[in-house]
């Protein structure tokens, strides 16, 4: 599991427009990586809508948000459209990237073979270093939004 002070691992995942997106595409910008267990679940919807509603503040802090789940790009696209989410939602099939960062839930919701990303948030600075990390074993727990904003504000000073 990665933590504050670690170098972020670059990755390339497909977005809802079936285009490949790399973390390194955002070099020089602060990035909020929001790993979420699944589209169309109540806590994930609340979390990603909270990030959506914070985008103007994040933009002022030179930050972008990337949502990452094991969902297909088609499910993520429907989820983004339903909730008017304008930042990239990326599909991490099999949870490879989630495993490198915060981890995964195996047999999620007692469904054999179903893997889901643990709810986790990382703030990566423009140089690619993780400056904030939060991982929850409880998929029903939302991240501490104030801490994420504080981490971004520290980077803007």
| Active-site residue list | 44
First vs last C-alpha separation in the chain: 28
Contact predicate 37/44, CB 8 Å: yes
Widest pairwise Cα distance in the chain = 47
Spell out where the chain has E strands: 12-14, 20-22, 30-35, 63-69, 88-91, 104-105, 116-117, 120-124, 130-135
DSSP bridge pairs for 91:
14, 69
In terms of phi and psi (left: phi > 0; alpha: psi -120 to 50; beta: otherwise), the region of 115 is beta
């Amino acid at each position: 599991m990665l933590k504050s002070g670690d170098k972020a691992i670059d990755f390339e995942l497909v977005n809802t427009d079936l285009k490949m997106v790399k973390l390194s595409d955002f070099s020089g910008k602060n990035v909020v990586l929001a790993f979420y267990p699944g589209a169309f679940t109540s806590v994930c919807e609340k979390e990603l809508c909270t990030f959506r509603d914070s985008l103007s503040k994040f933009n002022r802090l030179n930050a972008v948000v990337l949502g990452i789940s094991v969902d297909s790009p088609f499910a993520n696209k429907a989820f983004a459209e339903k909730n008017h989410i304008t930042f990239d939602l990326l599909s991490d099939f099999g949870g490879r990237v989630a495993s490198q960062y915060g981890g995964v839930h195996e047999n999620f919701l007692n469904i054999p073979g179903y893997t889901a990303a643990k709810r986790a948030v990382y703030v990566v600075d423009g140089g690619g270093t993780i400056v904030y990390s939060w991982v929850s074993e409880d998929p029903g727990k939302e991240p501490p939004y104030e801490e994420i904003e504080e981490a971004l504000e520290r980077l803007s000073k």
